[in-house]
Amino acid sequence: MVSYHLSNSATPLNIVIRYCHGEFLPKENPAEKENNKKKNVLDAISEGRKMEAYTEHRTKDMRVCWLCETVCYKKKTGKTIGKKWICIDCLRQLKETMETFKQWEEEIALESEMKKQLDDGLGC
Ligand SMILES: [Zn+2]
């Protein structure tokens, strides 16, 4: 009796011993087994390549908004400005900021004018 049963570890030697004892049934003829092995390897490579192509394809479609850092796919509208892609939501916010920019500047100017007048008044 071979002492392979003392260890259940799947070392290559163990597997060979167990294989020799007919543990891996049903038995295939060696040529068929070799073919299956090749087919499995080819399938694995093919699957791997498909996965790689898919990932590459998806990554190409994938965009990260420079401002809000949201990950978007091609369906999401946005614009590339310089080297950065910005999503529509952030662009709307930017547009709003730009539209109110003049008003904002006037408010700042008014505030500093008032502050100046107040300071001058206190100086008298
Ligand atoms: Zn954004």
Whether the pLDDT of residue 57 is over 80: the answer is no
Q: Identify the DSSP state of 20.
A: H
Beta bridge partners of 85: 80
pLDDT in tens, 28-42: 678 888 888 889 988
CA of 119 to the centre of ligand 1 (A): 42
Beta bridge partners of 64: 71
For residue 51, what pLDDT band results from cuts at 50, 70 and 90? confident
Whether the pLDDT of residue 62 is over 90: the answer is no
Q: How far apart are CA 61 and CA 78, in angstroms?
A: 13
Per 3-state DSSP, the chain is made up of helix, strand and coil in percentages (nearest 5) of 65, 10, 25
78 close to 87: Cβ distance less than 8 angstroms: yes
CA of 89 to the centre of ligand 1 (A): 6
CA of 100 to the centre of ligand 1 (A): 20
- More confidently predicted of 70 and 30: 70
pLDDT (average), residues 65-71: 93
Query: Considering the entire predicted model, what is its pTM?
Result: 0.45
CA of 57 to the centre of ligand 1 (A): 22
Residues 6+ apart with CB under 8 A from 72: 62, 63, 64, 65, 78, 87
pLDDT of residue 28: 63
CA of 4 to the centre of ligand 1 (A): 62
